[in-house]
Amino acid sequence: MQHKPSARKPKPDSRFPKIQATQCACCGIALPTGAGYDVPLIGAVGPKCALKFASFADALVWVEGRNARVQGGDRVAHVAAHNVVVGLRNLGIEITADAAGVLHVGRLTRKASDVASTYKRVRARFEGNLQAAVTAYGPSIGTTRAVAA
């Protein structure tokens, strides 16, 4: 019985830019290449952890510039959108609204490593809320980005 070498799967491209780093901000593992992926607000993470943070980055982009006072949609949609914002706040991310009701993503209110470890625990629920909110309101409906376009 001969052993056939398996074809190595190519690594998927990350949406995050590469930066110099020696350790993953998420799991703490050493990065032997000396480079990691720069996840917004978290810092440099390794290639496996970068895949976990795609929806986190999507949520930050989805919330930034969104009008908190947008009308329309049903109760389930409002709850899903609310849960995304509350979920980010519970993770330790400052989200504020200006006088016009436009949401802005701010700084971390907890250490990045604590935010990362909490996100790993609530990731599935968080992704479900984000998907429901994006389905109901779209990726840019009610945001300052949509108005500017």
In DSSP notation, 77-112 reads HHHHHHHHHHHHHHHTEEEEE-TT-BEEEEEESS-H
Provide the mean pLDDT of the chain: 82
Q: Say what the pTM is.
A: 0.76
Q: For residue 117, name the pLDDT band (cuts at 50, 70, 90).
A: confident
Partnered with residue 19 across adjacent β-strands are 36
For the chain, give every domain's residue range. 14-52, 54-148
Query: Who wins on pLDDT, 78 or 8?
Result: 78
Tens digits of residue pLDDT in 63-81 = 998 887 766 667 777 888 8
> Within 10 A of 19 (CB to CB), how many other CB atoms are there?
11
Partnered with residue 36 across adjacent β-strands are 19
SS3 67: strand
